[in-house]
Every structure is written in C-alpha cells, then in structure tokens.
Structure 1
Amino acid sequence: MPDIDTRLTQIEGRMIAHRRLLARLVLRLAPDLQADLLGWIEDREILHDGQEDPGSLPTELSVLPLSIAEEFQEIRKLVATMPPRRDD
C-alpha cells in the first residue's frame, strides 16, 4: 500500500482530472445553460454559515465545507480560463 504522501498525491491528481472534465463539460453547454450552471456554482463558492472570514482558523468541522467551496471556486476559475466552446 502506498504511503500517505503518495496516496494524497494520487487523490489530488484524480481531483484535478475531475475538475478539468467538469470545466470542459460546462463549456460544452448552450450559453443559457452555461450561465445558469455558473451562477449555481458561484452561489456555492462562499459559505453561508457565518464562517466567511478568511482570517478565521478552520476547525475539523469546517474543513470539508471550506474545501467544497474552494473546489467550486477552482472549477469556475478554470472554466473562465479555458478557450470558448467550439462546435465540433
């Protein structure tokens, strides 16, 4: 079994692959659906539980929701940097 650092690197690599795939799928949507989905993603980029303070230290309970919000940010940023949709 791989050590923890190797395992974490594998998980991160898979997450990056999923992020790229999701961003590419968003770009393949029709413009109105794309805008709707990006709006939905933006709504989830910020926690709405009073823990939005970037200076606050994450607790064990907040790590998962913070990670989810950060991942939505990463997906949206990746979509914004990819070339526009092409009709193949």
Structure 2
Amino acid sequence: MTDMQSRLEMLEARAVAHRRLLARLLAASGRATRESVTDWLVSHEVPSDGQEDPGAVLSELDSGLMTEAEEFRAIAALVEQESGQLES
C-alpha cells in the first residue's frame, strides 16, 4: 500500500467516524431538533447541478457539491437508523 493510499484510507475512516458520531448525537437529541436538522439535510441532498442537462460534464465544483449531497444522504440515513435503535 502506498503512502497516498494509506492517507486516503485514514481520511475515509475519520470521515466515517465523524458521520457516525454526528448521527448518534442527532438521534439522541430531542425530536424537534432531530427533525429540524434532518429536514435541512434532506433539503440539501440534491444540489442544483445543471440537472436540466443530464449529459452535462461535471466541473470540480459540481463534483464537490454532489459529494456533499451524498454525505448529507448518508448522515440522514444514519440518523434514522440510530433513532430507531434508541427507540427500541
């Protein structure tokens, strides 16, 4: 494994840890807070990325926005999962 691969894996592991911690904190928060933040996450899941032109080539900025949207979806899904575990 190269040094670059090792660094990328470490960054990914840290991002996953932060995502899981954030989801757990939101799941443990009050219902109003959780719903408010989840609504915000859902509203940011689909960036305005020129979707009217599905064949458009993504720029680096668009790619970053798409990655951000994917992260919001992942966090929202984890919040839902964690909330279910805390309620059962």
Shared topology, TM-score over 0.5?
yes
Residues of 2 paired with 1:46 and 1:5: CA distance? 29
Taking structure 1 as reference, are residues 73 and 37 closer, same or farther at Cα in structure 2, changes over 3 Å only? same
User: Structure 2 stretches of 5 or more lacking a match?
Assistant: none
Report the equivalent of 1:84.
Answer: 86
Q: Which moved more, 1:53-62 or 1:7-16?
A: 53-62
Number of corresponding residues: 85
Q: Which moved more, 1:76-85 or 1:16-25?
A: 76-85
Residues of 1 paired with 2:52 and 2:79: CA distance? 23
> What is the aligned-residue RMSD (CA, Å)?
2.3
Residues of 1 paired with 2:38 and 2:14: CA distance? 22
Post-superposition offset of 1:63: 1.6
SS of residue paired to 2:86: coil
Taking structure 1 as reference, are residues 4 and 45 closer, same or farther at Cα in structure 2, changes over 3 Å only? same
Task: Answer yes or no: is the 8 Å Cα contact 1:45–1:70 preserved in 2.
Answer: yes
Task: Answer yes or no: is the 8 Å Cα contact 2:27–2:86 preserved in 1.
Answer: yes
Post-superposition offset of 1:54: 7.0
Report the equivalent of 1:65.
Answer: 65
Structure with the larger helix share: 2
Task: Answer yes or no: is the 8 Å Cα contact 1:28–1:85 preserved in 2.
Answer: no
Task: Answer yes or no: is the 8 Å Cα contact 2:50–2:56 preserved in 1.
Answer: no
TM, length-normalised to structure 1: 0.81
User: Structure 1 stretches of 5 or more lacking a match?
Assistant: none
